A and B are shown apart, each in its own frame.
Chain A
Amino acid sequence: MLASSCRKDAKPDTEQTETVFEGNIASAVKGFYLLNEGNLNMNKASLDYIDYTTGVYQKNVYSSANPEAGRGLGDVGNDMAIYGSKLFIVVNNSNKVEVLDARTRKRIKQIDIVNCRYITFKNNKAYVSAYVSAVGDANAGNGIVAEIDTTTLLIERRVTIGRQPEGIAIVGNKLYVANSGGYSPKNYERTISVVDLASFTEIKRIDVAINLNRMLADANGDLYVTSQGDYLNIKPKLFVIDTRTEQLKKTFELGVRTFCLDDKYLYTVNSNGQNFDYSIIDVDTETLLNRSFITDGTGAKLAQPYGIAVNPVTKEILLTDAGSYVNPGTLYCFDTAGRRKWSVTTGDIPAHFAFIF
């Protein structure tokens, strides 16, 4: 009787498991991590894992593996990637990049970077975009990219770029960063910063459109970058930039919410303000294919499609629905024909994926 009215002894968060589908012991991709962003100020970023070999979904694996590591994963998990044997998680409002052993999920190190956003890698270095170049200086409104050695996990170099940088990609020996300028809506940024990796200096700005956001580089040396517009008159669009000429190559009239690249296909979830559509762009021909990657009607039922990934071997599509943002989300798996295979309830705002081989 007293159980519900009294406080309980503090205990670490525990992992929860459920079997979602029939596992395949021979699966080439062993599984994947799913990062739930969590709502701002709720400190509810969480890490889940799906095991393809068993079909088991494990919730909250970070907290159960690292009970001693402070108050959980933190506040707003913004990006995640695996490099070598390490899992890097960019936790935006906790001002840190969390580095885990990708197998054991044990924390290796926490790297403090204020207002960090996205991560990419090249030649044993990690590159993290971040909003803040100097804390407490009203003139330090530009963002940075921090270069981190993936062995020592120390920040080695920083370069100052545009305001409120977001997506980040590397082609050849150049780093490209999409600048948003989101803190100044009357004066958005409209450029991509080009950083020479050898000297680690910004060598050029490519003018694209206001309020740039996500960015991916394909194997042909093209950048796919989204503009969010001004949420009022200027519509969001998707741009293709040729890195050889550093010129705008093509514009898609798509309000891209989220996208991912697999091989020669860019999968995009687009909103026209009324509903969502689920498109595929062939990046070799830079053409929008005349088909949706969801075909069974599930797409119309999603409230807020939010994160997407494609299994690099089976080509199954993993798509999350963040719902109302304040409720647990849902992860859907679609087969290559666009039919729903399975779904599972996730943490709050499921968003980012990293595959384990």
Chain B
Amino acid sequence: MESGRLYVLLRAGFVVCFKPGVAFFAAMCWLCTALYGQDTASVKRLAEVQVIERTNTINITSPTPAQILKGAALQRLNTLSVADAIRYFSGVQMKDYGGVGGLKTVNVRSLGSSQTAVFYDGLQVNNAQNGQVDLSKFSMDNIGSIELYNAQKNTIFQPARGFAAGNSVYLTTKSPTFKGNSKDLYKATFKTGSFGLVNPSILWQHRISNATFSTLNAEYTHANGRYKFRYTNGVYDTIAVRNNGDINALRFEAGLKTAITDSSSWEIKGYLYNSERGLPGAIIENRFNYNQREWDRNLFVQSGFERRGKIYSVMLKAKYANDYLRYLDPDIITTDGFSDSRYHQQEFYFSVANLLKLEKYWNVSISADYARNAMQSNIFRFVNPLRNTALIAIATQLKWSRFDLQANLLSNIINEHTQTITGKTEYKYTPTIAASWQPFKTEAFRLRGFYKSIYRIPTFNELYYTFVGTANLQPEYSRQLDVGFTFQLTRNSGILRNISIQTDIYGNKVDNKIIAVPSLNLQRWTMQNIGRVNIKGIESNMQSGWYINDEVLINGGLSYTYQQAYDASAGAKAKQQIPYTPLHSGSALAGVLYKNYSVNYSFIYTGERYNQAANIASNYVEPWYTHDLSANWRQPLKDHELNIGAEINNVFNQYYDVVTNFPMPGRFYRLKMTFTY
């Protein structure tokens, strides 16, 4: 009964609150029954391409769990930055300080945000300073796909860095789709809405030859960042406006991609992000206004060459990155005036990956990466560290149509110097093994699993931040174990045309986990090696596509995560969930496509959690759940296309905090217009 009700509620867009776990699995069973009750013989036939395209977010053959948002599925989400989209993945907790310019980082399966590597067009965006990537800085404007892999991407032919993180997010920019003989593609987008958002962007893609094209993309983001928030205890009740949340950001990208021959290609890309923003502080008793400012400048140039042969393939990648961060705090007056901290980072990176096909079913690879990371700062007693990292991964893959086994050994060699310490060289070796198996004749069902251990060295901030960093911090060591299944059916008749489900059970252990607790401002943290965390969880995704008639298509998706992340360090109380980790979380998506119109609904739920180690009333944080709606209209003109979309986010105007005392916006609006020429 519950499943039916849930479904009806979903369709109507009024899921206000539900017991997530029970409802989700009941809904899944009901859908499976509905499917099997009808035609199963037509499994292999293709259904409406659009139905699949709009729902296919699961890679069913991947031995490591993969979640993918791309194409239409990505477009129908109400997103401004990559962070907004990643919230819909299962097993993910966003740490979001609110607003357009607020820091947004992702924590996958409670391993911690520093264990997630973010790759932008194939190369890692590395931040040796704090180890985490602010996903609010990556605009959705030119992103074609977002992929999240637990453990690592399902290939052995990749840079060693691809093997070196606890989990990985791959952001890929849009490839051009030139129409006919057209040599140029122009796209202009304008977004506006709440928070004083003004967000124009232009994209120009040019076909130089049949095999070569260039891309230029520029985007400007301005917002005053003001929004209402409310705090109440039932007696005291205050609505105030968030201040100092303004942002001005400019992003510029230029790229060139060429296919030298059928089997080899080369690309180069330049990226510049420049921003100034206010840092809205913690809303505490008697304090609502802040004056701190931040400036960021991120610049990188990256290039990749790839040659795929029948027996031997090679991939070369190189990157130079230069990052600058300035933090001004007028509340701290030193003998030199306002506290004004500047941080510079440079990275040189080079990678070579080789793949050898020994048999039809047997590949081996070796990848070697070298990175040199340097950091300087004007803060007192900063030791200007220099880190040399060599990563070598040897890997093998055995692959038949029904069985895929991938295994690798990663060696991590690090040598670090500071002005005061000449470091010794450290060697670490960690393995990964992953497999996917189709046990029955049907391709619809596969089992999979992986084991991965990884070693994360502390970041420069964790080690050397004056008075906060702890040079004797232990490295984090994590082990992940996962088993799961994937299930996918597509049909070309009936109402339900496509359904895919993936479910994984996992157990992670993190030793010497470094926990960062926010302190005076967002840049400063106090470091704790809280010892050990034991994580157990189950996560599940279901996507479905429904065909009503030739003009009406419906899609729906659910994701759900149950996760225990207990502090298991010596002396810790039993069964204490680590901070900001809910037991239950999930999301639901539903969309209706009718001719050139589409209406989409999404729901995100994060269950109750605690903001400090002790699971007691004074640390309790309320669950939050937001409902978002959008409507889009697409008008194909002769050679052009016009898209207009409107969003209402947080429809029920729920006031909530993701991070305690950093209020999130209530109901807000966005309007989006895109003209493609």
Interface residues, chain A, CB within 8 Å of chain B?
Answer: 1-2, 4-13, 39-44, 46, 60, 67-75, 91, 93-96, 110, 112, 115, 132, 135-141, 163, 181, 183-187, 231-232, 324-328, 347-348
Contacts and interface: CB of A to CB of B under 8 A. Distances in A.
A70 B518 CA distance: 23
B611 A91 contact: no
Contact of A75 (B285, B518, B622, B624): B285
A10 B333 CA distance: 39
Contacts of A74: 284-287
Interface in B454-486: 466-467
B361 interface: no
A277 B426 CA distance: 38
Contacts of A91: 285-286
Nearest to B379: A185
Contacts of B333: 132, 137-141, 183
B332 interface: yes
A139 B333 CA distance: 8
Given A5-B584, A186-B380, 4 more contacts: A9-B234, A43-B660, A71-B285, A185-B467
Contact of A112 (B20, B286, B622): B286
Contacts of A95: 286-287
B517 interface: yes
Nearest to B524: A40
Contact of A326 (B232, B613, B622): B613
Point out which of B282, B519, B618 has the most chain A C-beta atoms below 10 A from its C-beta: B618
Interface string B510-539: 000000011110000010100000000000
Contacts of B284: 41, 43, 71, 74-75, 93-94
Interface in B316-356: 330-339
Interface string B181-199: 0000000000000000000
Given A7-B622, A184-B336, A94 B661 contact: no
Contact of B233 (A1, A11, A181, A327): A11
A138 B22 CA distance: 58
Contact of A4 (B232, B238, B607): B607
Interface string B609-625: 00111101010001110
A183 B341 CA distance: 13
B381 interface: yes
Nearest to B518: A41
B286 A110 contact: yes
A91 B284 CA distance: 11
B285 A324 contact: no
B231 interface: yes
B281 interface: yes
Contacts of B175: none
Given A138-B333, A324-B528, A71 B624 contact: no
Interface in B201-251: 231-236, 238
B19 interface: yes
Contacts of B17: 2, 5-7
B429 interface: no
A63 to B, nearest CB: 8
A39 B517 contact: yes
Nearest to A46: B618
A138 B338 contact: yes
Contact of B236 (A1, A43, A68, A183): A68
Contact of B330 (A136, A186, A232, A347): A136
A265 B235 CA distance: 46
B661 to A, nearest CB: 6
B612 A348 contact: yes
Interface in B155-204: none
Contacts of B232: 10
B612 A41 contact: no
B280 to A, nearest CB: 12
A17 to B, nearest CB: 14
B267 interface: no
Point out which of B18, B331, B612 has the most chain A C-beta atoms below 10 A from its C-beta: B612
B19 A5 contact: yes
- Report, as a range, how many residues of chain B touch the other chain: 35 or more
B335 A141 contact: yes
Nearest to B232: A10
Given A46-B618, A326-B517, A94 B338 contact: no
A70 B613 contact: no
A328 B616 contact: yes
List the 4 shortest-distance A-B pairs measured between CB atoms, nearest first: A74-B285, A41-B282, A141-B333, A67-B235
A135 to B, nearest CB: 8
Given A9-B234, A39-B517, A328 B337 contact: no
B291 interface: yes
A326 B549 CA distance: 58
A145 B284 CA distance: 24
B236 A71 contact: yes
Contact of A40 (B332, B334, B380, B519): B519
B337 A326 contact: no
A47 B330 CA distance: 31
Nearest to B614: A327
B660 A67 contact: no
B492 to A, nearest CB: 39
Contacts of A139: 333, 337
Contacts of B286: 70, 74, 91, 94-96, 110, 112
A183 B339 contact: yes
Nearest to B235: A67
Contacts of B654: 7
A326 B516 CA distance: 11
Interface in B602-655: 605, 607-608, 611-614, 616, 618, 622-624, 654
Given A75-B285, A138-B333, A328-B616, A12 B233 contact: yes
B236 A69 contact: yes
A132 B520 CA distance: 16
B20 A8 contact: no
Contacts of B285: 43, 70-75, 91, 94, 96
B291 A40 contact: no
B621 to A, nearest CB: 10
28 contacts: A4-B608, A5-B20, A5-B605, A5-B623, A7-B623, A40-B520, A41-B282, A42-B282, A42-B612, A42-B660, A42-B661, A43-B661, A60-B618, A67-B234, A67-B235, A71-B236, A71-B284, A73-B285, A74-B287, A91-B285, A95-B286, A96-B286, A137-B333, A138-B337, A138-B338, A139-B337, A326-B613, A327-B612
Point out which of B291, B332, B616 has the most chain A C-beta atoms below 10 A from its C-beta: B332
Nearest to A72: B285
Given A94-B287, A136-B330, A10 B233 contact: yes
Contacts of B618: 13, 44, 46, 60, 347-348
A55 to B, nearest CB: 22
A39 B619 CA distance: 12
B622 A8 contact: yes
Contacts of A9: 234
A130 to B, nearest CB: 13
A15 to B, nearest CB: 12
Contacts of A41: 281-282, 284, 518-520, 661
A335 B652 CA distance: 57
A16 to B, nearest CB: 8
Given A10-B233, A12-B233, A326-B613, A184 B519 contact: no
Contacts of A10: 232-234
Contact of A2 (B19, B287, B660): B19
Nearest to A347: B618
Contacts of B526: 325
A13 B233 contact: yes
Nearest to A115: B331
B466 A185 contact: yes
Contacts of A1: 19, 22
Interface in B372-388: 380-381
Point out which of A39, A112, A137, A326 has the most chain B C-beta atoms below 10 A from its C-beta: A326
